[in-house]
Amino acid sequence: ILNVEQSPQSLHVQEGDSTNFTCSFPSSNFYALHWYRWETAKSPEALFVMTLNGDEKKKGRISATLNTKEGYSYLYIKGSQPEDSATYLCALGRDMRFGAGTRLTVKP
């Protein structure tokens, strides 16, 4: 069983703040890491799929980095907006096991 850990569990920031959170995973036998954005009552929305050590991906104000040797990925949001409020999930492995997520709340 792969242990995918996400921290922090929740985060409250002010509009305009930049923020980041972490997905940690066992570094052995790495295959791929996914980031998803999930709003309550909606389906999770794909953000990034990362496969190589050192990968950096960007989508608008959201970016992610990957370190497979030490077993972590960071998700960054620059200039947070209220519409960024959601739970951010990472998933790992061939059978797509998810972490518990980081719940982000952006206050206007």
Residues near other proteins, by CB under 8 A = 1, 6, 9, 31-32, 34, 36, 41-44, 46, 49, 51, 87, 89, 91, 93-101
Give the shortest CB-16-to-other proteins separation in angstroms: 28
Q: Which is nearer to other proteins, 29 or 108 (CB)?
A: 29
Give the shortest CB-31-to-other proteins separation in angstroms: 6
Give the contacts of 94 (CB within 8 A, at least 6 positions apart): 31
Give the shortest CB-26-to-other proteins separation in angstroms: 15
Q: Which is nearer to other proteins, 19 or 101 (CB)?
A: 101
Q: Which is nearer to other proteins, 9 or 81 (CB)?
A: 9
* Whole-number Å distance between alpha carbons of 104 and 97: 21
b/e burial code for range 61-89 (CB count within 10 A of at least 16 → b): ebbbbbebeebbbebebeebeeebbbbbb
- In the block, tokens 């980081």 appear at 102
